[in-house]
């Protein structure tokens, strides 16, 4: 089975379309989404609509929960809060109902999925060596998938030896050499210095994972943010991948 894993789309339709276009050149058996479909970005309805139609498994993220009122928006950073409040005013009811139906975690055969981390599926960032080790030790599945940090990452645990690194475009991981914690990176707001949309391919038959990046028309998303008078910093950061 081949699976594509996407995360943190954040209502960036042009980034999502670029990733789906790349995926469609060699369609996988399933698409899994690790949450944060909305928040920050200018096209929440279209982003939810696409993911709903295409993803076999979809988690909910902290921004989705803020937008549907299940989390207090005042826990968000100021620009994120402005975008979440704007999203609340435009999100269609059917998409709200869909987001309300989702969980921030899922256990599948061979993989555990969390928006944040196993001990805090909504809020915790798995970005340090310590949090990665904790996440792997708190789980049993051979593959643990997390989103939320917007940083593509591959950390392996073999015995008690942890080895990990940022996962740039083209990086390949041998899934049978360790248990792995993998973060596909963010489709709609990458923060690892590469502004291109991130996605992850899992070939479970070949026991390999492959990290991908896709260029998209960043200027179009920036224009849409400005048309909606969303914070300028949200447009600016897209150009730098921060
Ligand atoms: Zn996010």
Q: What is the pLDDT of residues 64-118, one digit of tens each?
A: 999 999 999 998 999 999 999 999 999 999 999 999 999 999 999 999 999 999 9
User: Where does 98-189 show beta strands of DSSP type E?
Assistant: 105-108, 111-114, 143-146, 153-158, 161-166, 172-174, 179-183
Task: Tell how strand 57-58 and strand 30-33 pair up.
Answer: parallel
Q: How far is the CA of 160 from the centre of ligand 1 (A)?
A: 30
Q: How far is the CA of 203 from the centre of ligand 1 (A)?
A: 25
Q: How far is the CA of 123 from the centre of ligand 1 (A)?
A: 10
Q: How far is the CA of 13 from the centre of ligand 1 (A)?
A: 15
- Confidence (pLDDT) at 146: 98
Q: How far is the CA of 159 from the centre of ligand 1 (A)?
A: 31
How far out from the chain centre does Cα 8 lie? 3
**Which CATH architecture describes the domain 2-239?**
4-Layer Sandwich (3.60)
- For range 183-189, the mean pLDDT: 98
- Confidence (pLDDT) at 36: 98
How far out from the chain centre does Cα 178 lie? 23
Residues 6+ away with beta carbon under 8 Å from 129:
155, 162, 164
Q: How far is the CA of 53 from the centre of ligand 1 (A)?
A: 20
Burial of 90 (0-12, 13-18, 19+ CB in 10 A): middle
127 SS3 class: coil
Report if pTM > 0.75.
yes
- 3-state helix, strand, coil split of the chain in percent (to 5) is 35, 25, 40
* Straight-line distance from the first to the last Cα atom of the chain, in angstroms, rounded to the nearest whole number: 33
- CA gap 62, 10 in Å, rounded: 11
Domain range summary for the chain, segments of one domain joined by +: 2-239
Q: How far is the CA of 36 from the centre of ligand 1 (A)?
A: 5
Please report, rounded to a whole number, the percentage of residues in the chain having pLDDT higher than 70. Answer: 100
φ, ψ of residue 136 in degrees (nearest 5): -70, -35
Q: How far is the CA of 176 from the centre of ligand 1 (A)?
A: 29
Of the candidates 106, 103, 135, 130, the residue with the CA atom closest to the CA atom of residue 118: 135
- Confidence (pLDDT) at 13: 98
Note whether 47 and 218 are within 8 A (CB): no
- Confidence (pLDDT) at 123: 94
Query: Dmax over Cα atoms in the chain, in whole Å?
Result: 52
Q: How far is the CA of 149 from the centre of ligand 1 (A)?
A: 7
- Confidence (pLDDT) at 199: 98
pLDDT tens, position by position, 115-174 = 999 999 999 999 998 999 999 999 999 999 999 999 999 999 999 999 999 999 999 999
Residues 6+ away with beta carbon under 8 Å from 65:
71, 99, 104, 122
pLDDT tens, position by position, 26-69 = 999 999 999 999 999 999 999 999 999 999 999 999 999 999 99
- Confidence (pLDDT) at 158: 95
Q: How far is the CA of 38 from the centre of ligand 1 (A)?
A: 8
- CA gap 152, 186 in Å, rounded: 7
- For range 201-229, the mean pLDDT: 98
């Amino acid at each position: 089975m081949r699976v594509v894993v996407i995360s943190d789309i954040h209502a960036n339709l042009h980034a999502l379309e670029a990733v789906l276009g790349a995926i469609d050149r060699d369609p996988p058996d399933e698409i899994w989404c690790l949450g944060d479909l909305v928040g920050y970005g200018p096209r929440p309805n279209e982003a939810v609509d696409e993911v709903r139609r295409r993803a076999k498994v979809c988690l909910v993220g902290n921004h989705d929960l803020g937008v549907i009122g299940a989390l207090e928006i005042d826990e968000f950073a100021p620009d994120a809060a402005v975008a979440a409040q704007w999203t609340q005013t435009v999100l269609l009811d059917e998409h709200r109902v869909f987001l309300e139906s989702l969980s921030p975690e899922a256990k599948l055969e061979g993989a555990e999925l969390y928006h944040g981390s196993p001990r805090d599926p909504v809020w915790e960032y798995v970005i340090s060596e310590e949090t990665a080790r904790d996440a792997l030790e708190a789980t049993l599945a051979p593959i643990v998938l997390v989103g939320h940090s917007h940083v593509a990452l591959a950390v392996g645990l073999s015995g008690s030896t942890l080895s990990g690194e940022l996962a740039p475009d083209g990086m390949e991981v041998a899934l049978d050499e360790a248990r792995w914690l993998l973060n596909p990176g963010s489709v709609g707001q990458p923060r690892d210095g590469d502004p291109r949309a991130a996605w992850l391919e899992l070939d479970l038959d070949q026991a390999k994972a492959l990290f991908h990046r896709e260029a998209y028309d960043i200027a179009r998303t920036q224009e849409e943010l400005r048309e909606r008078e969303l914070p300028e910093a949200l447009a600016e950061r897209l150009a730098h991948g921060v």
